[in-house]
A = this chain, B = another copy of it.
Amino acid sequence: MSGVQVYYSALMQGLHLTADCHQCQCDPRWLEDADLLGQACLDAVRRAGLQPVNQVFHVFPPTPRGPGGVTAAILLAESHLCVHTWPELAAVTLDVYVCNFGADHDAQAQALSDALIALLQPADLRRAVMRRG
């Protein structure tokens, strides 16, 4: 069975980075405008050397506290990027998940996460790293 273990571990091994961003100091438009945020995410994906294959952006309706949040999910050849925003809290969660199928994408995942955090400028940031597969 150890042969099987090595076989699928090597192919399915991946890295999942999360970043829970609080007190974002960026322009509030980044948390409210799905097209603006989505395009920035696509640009960041490409600049990090990852390959977008499809995407969906969604805007939630306004609440009594202000504009609704945005979700951007970008499907990658390497797995996915998901971004959720809460404008009323100046908060955003990021998920960058890459599978290292065919190549090691750890550095690209880290670069993508770092780029989005730099855009959002959270004063309080909680990151986690998970090995997948």
* Chain B residue nearest in CB terms to A1: B124
CA distance A75 to B85 in the complex (A): 13
CA distance A128 to B132 in the complex (A): 9
Task: Check B20–A18 contact: CB distance below 8 A.
Answer: no
Count contacts on A: residues with CB < 8 A to the other chain: 35
* Chain B residue nearest in CB terms to A80: B82
CA distance A126 to B95 in the complex (A): 19
Q: Provide the residues of chain B in CB contact with A20, threshold 8 Å.
A: 12, 132-133
Within 8 A of B (CB), among A106-133: 126, 128, 130, 132-133
- The answer to the question of A79 belonging to the interface, with a C-beta cut-off of 8 Å to chain B, is yes
CA distance A73 to B128 in the complex (A): 21
CA distance A73 to B80 in the complex (A): 9
Task: Check B80–A84 contact: CB distance below 8 A.
Answer: yes
